Chains A and B, each alone.
Chain A
């Protein structure tokens, strides 16, 4: 079973790293991070803030878009191109296949994100002369956010076509990102039925905002450990739940 999982993860990983979307996103992000690091119009304090802000945004943007596009049509295309049949003819549980597909794609995206993170940390090292612990935390929670987004994408891909999956996932991602900063304020200002409608729609959305420690990094603030632990558990639980539903759904599908 472990050998099968390893082989499938490797297959999915290799497919992921060959996709052009990943190359483009990583290269584009590296260029933006490098350009942000070479801007010399401002004094050092402002420049470091610019590097941190731009770097974190680019890592998140590239990671999120890559995982959505890699996993949005993964299962669908495997069935359409019939590459899944020889695998499912073997004694491999479908759950294992779904998990391997997810882990492989996530590994490919993590590889790209690691390249960007190394570039960002190196730039910060050059500017500051020391390694900021908050930078590591902020990057780690971005990884967790991307993992959760990947699980949501895979879950939706078992119900929808690739184009719809990408569209709906990005829409939900956006909604999850403004859940507290906008939707809840909107609900507070609205009254009656509108308020409850907004709260009802926003309730099942994953709280993506909670993973973003960029502000803490940029403004050198500390984040309570309770919050960090809760968000980590929340991310892992939400991801596991989405994966379980995706596996269940794929297991019941006619292929």
Chain B
């Protein structure tokens, strides 16, 4: 218990000490937002394409 506490403490201290305080964070990086919007756009386009394809197939079958 004491050893595991020591290991956790040292690891965590290292992480905190090497933390990103003062650095630029990913939420300030516009590249992150741009990439996420791009991915969302692609997903929406694929979903829309699939719906159109499904509806066209349904129309063809009903004829």
Contact with B along A214-231 (1 / 0, CB 8 A): 011011010110110011
**Is B55 on the interface with A (CB-CB < 8 A)?**
no
Q: Which residue from A42, A215, A234 sits with its C-beta under 8 Å from B39? A: A234
For B43, list chain A residues within 8 Å (CB): 237-238, 241
Query: Please, which residues of chain A bring their CB within 8 A of the CB of B29?
Result: 180
What 1/0 mask marks residues of chain A from 19 to 48 whose CB sits below 8 Å from any chain B CB?
000000000000010011011011000100
Residues from 117 to 155 in A contacting B, C-beta threshold 8 Å: none
Chain B interfacial residues counted at CB < 8 A: 30
Residue in contact with A241 in the complex, picked from B8, B26, B46, CB distance below 8 Å: B46
Contact with B along A169-207 (1 / 0, CB 8 A): 000000000001100100000000000000000011011
Which of A5-13, A49-57, A79-87, A96-104 interfaces with chain B? A49-57
Cα–Cα, bound, A42→B33 (Å): 38
Give Cα A227 to B30, complex, Å. Answer: 9
| B36 in contact with A46 (CB, 8 Å) | no
Bitwise interface map of B from 18 to 38 toward A, beta carbon under 8 Å scored 1, else 0: 011100011111011101110
Nearest 6 A/B pairs, CB to CB = A50-B12, A227-B27, A39-B9, A49-B16, A234-B36, A241-B43
A residues with CB within 8 A of B: 32, 35-36, 38-39, 41-42, 46, 49-50, 53-54, 180-181, 184, 203-204, 206-207, 209-210, 213, 215-216, 218-219, 221, 223-224, 226-227, 230-231, 233-234, 237-238, 241, 244, 248
Residues of B within 8 A of A (CB): 1, 4-5, 8-9, 12-13, 15-16, 19-21, 25-29, 31-33, 35-37, 39-40, 43-44, 46-47, 50
